[in-house]
Chain A
Amino acid sequence: MGASSTPAWRLHRTIPSDTEVGSRLIDDLSMQMREHGWDERQIFQVQLAYEEAIVNAIRHGNRYSPEKTVEVVFICNSQQVRIEITDQGCGFDPGAVPDPTSDERLENPGGRGVLMIRECMSDVSYGKGGCQLTMVKDRSDLSIGHDDDQDDE
């Protein structure tokens, strides 16, 4: 974590391959983000990235195996949120995930979660052969998606 005016909050949990258990963990981080003054839009983005990442770890990484666990680390202060998720699967190559926004793949499932993680967070990196995902959100990062929304024309 970089320099910060408030002490960092940290949580380290090892959870079973259960998406419901995984999803519940984000409530603690969301609460800490609010206490550290993050706005609701950024909290939503971190929730979204985490939800996609934990489901990927349990579904595609551990393949819901009751023999396997997922390790989750949250670190939060007023300037930065860091999330580390480590599964016990065979890993994957994020570079091999096709672009779900291309015209030919727009209507296909798959790849959208990885895209959403990348778009919502400031920095995303994979380690341990793709079994460990590290995501960072910087408070100063206000960008997301594309700014050409034009509804009700």
Chain B
Amino acid sequence: MTQSCKIPGFPRTSEMQHYNRIVVNQHDEVAIVRFVDRRIVDDQNIQELGEELNRLVEQEGRRLLLLNFEGVDFMSSAALNVLIKLQQKAKAHGGSVRICSLRPEIREVFSMTRLDRMFDIRTTEVAGLAAF
């Protein structure tokens, strides 16, 4: 894992890492992940997103992840599959994935697919951080 310098204050940014589909800020033990794409539907982008999220857990050793969906307008079932795999990987490494700041319509998607049983979903980033 490439360890970034500890910058006083919040958030500490892992500026040494390069991602195309996500932005990552480390807050104590929790990696806060935001998304570059407003619409997460493109096959290639979803594949790249999955690889970058997996890298967080498997190569960088980040076990606690808070996915902040602020700014995301739309996501497909293929994107949901990426999140499911990430949760499985995080749990296998003794961690967990939580979700916050979902647009209400996307929150309904988690409800209709019952994935809200698999993910702890909070309305705000502050609430999401407090849940760890």
- Interface SS majority for chain A: helix
Residues of B within 8 Å of A20, CB to CB, are 42
B43 at the interface (CB under 8 A from A): yes
Chain B interface, number of residues (Cβ within 8 angstroms):
30
Residues of A within 8 Å of B87, CB to CB, are 107
| A113:B112 contact, CB within 8 angstroms | no
Residues of A within 8 Å of B124, CB to CB, are 152
Residues of A within 8 Å of B111, CB to CB, are 145-149
| B109:A51 contact, CB within 8 angstroms | no
| B84:A107 contact, CB within 8 angstroms | yes
Closest to B114 in A: A101
For residue A57, give the distance in angstroms from its CB to the closest CB of chain B: 14
| B80:A23 contact, CB within 8 angstroms | no
Cα–Cα, bound, A44→B42 (Å)? 17
Which residue numbers of A lie inside 8 Å of B, CB to CB?
A: 19-20, 23, 40-41, 44-45, 47-48, 51-52, 55, 100-101, 106-107, 109, 112-113, 115-116, 119-120, 144-149, 151-152
